[in-house]
């Protein structure tokens, strides 16, 4: 094994390290929030994370797209 290939591996590791730390921080915050939340508040915790990371917006866009396709089909039929 040459020394040059080891340098490339470490470069990839250090470049990806901030993303790994960020992902771990999100997981820790999510677990902490879920453990401290009352059982009736758990759906609100999930909703807050969905809003924060754009999941809910993507679902609305998909729904709106499907609705637009359905409306276009109805216009073609009429």
The structure tokens listed for 12 are 């990839």
Whether residues 32 and 45 share a domain: the answer is no
The pTM assigned to this predicted structure is 0.49
Residues 6+ apart with CB under 8 A from 55: 49
Q: Would you call 49 exposed, middle or buried from its count of C-beta atoms within 10 A (0-12, 13-18, 19+)?
A: middle
Q: Name the residue range of residue 56's domain.
A: 41-78
Whether 52 and 76 share a structural domain: yes
DSSP run (H or E) holding 75: helix 55-77
Predicted pLDDT at 10: 81
DSSP, res 35: H
**6 and 27 belong to one structural domain:** yes
One domain, residues 23 and 2: yes
Residues 8, 29, single domain; the answer is: yes
pLDDT tens for residues 7-62? 688 888 888 999 999 999 988 988 898 888 888 888 888 888 777 776 544 455 56
pLDDT at 30: 84
Query: What letter would DSSP give residue 40?
Result: G
């Amino acid at each position: 094994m040459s020394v040059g290939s080891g340098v490339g591996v470490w470069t990839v590791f250090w470049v990806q390290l901030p993303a790994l730390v960020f992902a771990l921080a999100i997981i820790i915050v999510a677990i902490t929030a879920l453990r401290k939340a009352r059982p009736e508040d758990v759906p609100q915790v999930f909703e807050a994370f969905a809003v924060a990371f754009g999941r809910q917006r993507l679902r609305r866009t998909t729904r709106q797209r499907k609705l637009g396709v359905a409306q276009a089909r109805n216009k073609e039929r009429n």
